[in-house]
Chains A and B, each alone.
Chain A
């Protein structure tokens, strides 16, 4: 995405420098280094307990780090109290004041900033328009639907123009349809206002659709960081591959390294023409291929770019626009194939013997444990 150039694009908006957080004996974060760029939409993604909320709490100042420093816009704010940091935050359960009207809720941060009551009125009206709820100023939060309450919570956060907005699963309490609507809404607001957004979710689809960059967390460490495409198409570990999207995984050993790597597996040889860090033959590895990159072929087809193994159809399920076929390979491991549905399409029956095939370019080699280290950028 192309963004307008702001004055200073080199200083990160937020920088966690070697940050560790312990809760008693629990290591919630283990020496994290994280830079959030100006005006980007950064998502913290990870399973429950991986440290996402802890990162937000450290940035907002609700808790202090056990070690490391935290910088906002080039200033070390590690010791600064939360009410001096000038951030915005949207909570999962909205955290609207139940005893105040919508107007009073949104006016609260403006009153804190001692604005004149005339200015407050205009600003509240403006921001209510922005979230498309101009009519509800006099109501109490309890008189609004969940989606409306979340919009008010967002309005309350936008009204004082914080340069950074933290969001902790803001859409977690909404149903699927409303969630998708609000995702677009948030994207729209982020694109139209020049804000740095740090967004927490454990929903990988949400992360893939909304983010400029994703930080995938695993057990208090950064597993992988990059654009949604990076994470989806170039996972650097089994954890990344399995956490984002569906994946088919086979075990094998490197047989022959080179521009095209050959791997021997229990179901036959596979080739991978992507660059990978494995050179030594005999190294045990995992290979991963996305379900949408696998085809079901009738016996007899051949193509030298394709990896092809025999399989038996087990089941087929149609999910609206896509068909997922579940197959079993010769060694008993299973494979999922995902195709777009087309009218008049015929899928092999359950029990029939077929081949599954995928190209050597879509084959990703991953270490059995840990992650592929990024080669240091040439200096």
Chain B
């Protein structure tokens, strides 16, 4: 108990007090000082806000799915490498962490922009007036999310794959199973806890993102977090900002519980 006390004090100052303040701002009326749902009502009667809520959910899940599709093969490949090589390759997966968001956005413009590398190649092969809009719309947001979130899905899956009992794969192989069958009937089902852990991390983090969508997305790709930013910094409506923050936290919580239900207690323990 003695050793955790400093940590508890620290958490109290930087976590519990602010959260308490947010709850207070969201649920207590400024005029009367009474408990109230009026700010929540204000949120749910605004069509625009509801659309933003939906966009947030859509972007998070779509993003998580695409990140999974990109990340699983990477994790699988890494798991097959000898340890030294795996360590060295893992550094590349972590690269997005070392790069500042502004540098990344600039890089995206150079690559995906109207006169960027991709469009240049397309025009080179398909003709002068060919071009696709890859930035400032949902596609751009997805590029940004995949880039940001890849490590969050690769590592939980990698850890799971490495923890799988190699005797299971050998047994399947000796019983005559092909590689494809072994993957779909042994490796993949056993990696579900890793997949769920990864998806959880990505969804919760994407729900709270606002820089990537505002830099790479279009006018309709507004996330809940952008609304918070807007209410705190531009219109100074802190009550609405608190309401949106609370809703975000609740959404993340609901998602976590749903996943936990789905997989029992195995989410974080890779059962192999």
Where the two chains meet, the residues of A that have a C-beta atom closer than 8 Å to any C-beta of B are 60-62, 82-89, 91, 93, 95, 97-99, 108-109, 112-113, 156, 160
Contact = CB atoms under 8 A, between A and B. Distances in A.
Contact of A87 (B168, B172, B174, B186): B174
A19 B124 CA distance: 58
Contact of B176 (A83, A95, A98): A83
Contacts of B236: none
Interface string B177-191: 110010001100110
B235 interface: no
Contact of A83 (B168, B178, B185, B272): B178
Interface residue SS majority, chain A: loop
Interface of B: 165, 167-168, 170-178, 181, 185-186, 189-190, 271-272
Nearest to A157: B175
A146 to B, nearest CB: 15
16 contacts: A62-B174, A82-B170, A83-B174, A83-B175, A86-B176, A87-B174, A89-B171, A95-B167, A98-B272, A108-B172, A108-B177, A109-B175, A109-B176, A112-B175, A112-B181, A156-B175
Nearest to B177: A112
A85 B175 CA distance: 9
B176 A112 contact: yes
Contacts of A87: 174
A113 B177 CA distance: 9
A108 B177 CA distance: 9
B271 A88 contact: no
Nearest to B171: A95
Nearest to A105: B171
B175 A108 contact: yes
A109 B190 CA distance: 18
A98 B271 contact: yes
A83 B173 contact: yes
B91 to A, nearest CB: 26
B186 A97 contact: yes
Interface residue SS majority, chain B: helix
Residue among B165, B181, B271 facing the most chain A CB atoms (10 A cut-off):
B165
A112 to B, nearest CB: 5
A93 B175 contact: no
A62 B165 CA distance: 15
A176 B206 CA distance: 55
Nearest to B188: A99
Given A98-B271, A99-B189, A99-B190, A82 B181 contact: no
A156 B181 CA distance: 17
Nearest to B170: A62
A91 B171 contact: yes
A182 B177 CA distance: 28
Given A87-B174, A109-B177, A156-B175, 14 more contacts: A82-B173, A83-B173, A83-B176, A86-B176, A88-B174, A89-B174, A95-B168, A95-B170, A98-B271, A99-B190, A109-B175, A112-B178, A113-B176, A160-B176
Contacts of B175: 83, 88, 108-109, 112, 156, 160
Nearest to B189: A99
Contacts of B168: 95, 97
Nearest to B174: A89
A62 B169 CA distance: 11
A142 B165 CA distance: 15
Nearest to B271: A98
Contacts of B181: 112
A100 to B, nearest CB: 8
Nearest to A156: B175
A89 B176 CA distance: 11
Contacts of B178: 83, 112
B185 A108 contact: yes
A91 B173 CA distance: 13
Contacts of A108: 172, 175, 177, 185
A98 B177 CA distance: 17
Contact of A95 (B165, B189, B190): B165
A113 B175 CA distance: 9
A265 B266 CA distance: 68
Contact of B167 (A61, A86, A93): A93
Contacts of A113: 176
A109 B173 CA distance: 10
Nearest to A81: B173
Nearest to A113: B176
Contacts of A112: 175-178, 181
Contacts of A99: 189-190
A156 B174 CA distance: 12
B167 A91 contact: yes
Residue among B165, B174, B178, B272 facing the most chain A CB atoms (10 A cut-off):
B174
B213 to A, nearest CB: 37
A95 B172 CA distance: 9
A90 to B, nearest CB: 9
A82 B186 contact: no
A83 B167 contact: no
Given A91-B167, A98-B271, A82 B185 contact: no
B170 A83 contact: no
Contacts of B171: 89, 91, 95
Residue among B168, B175, B177 facing the most chain A CB atoms (10 A cut-off):
B175
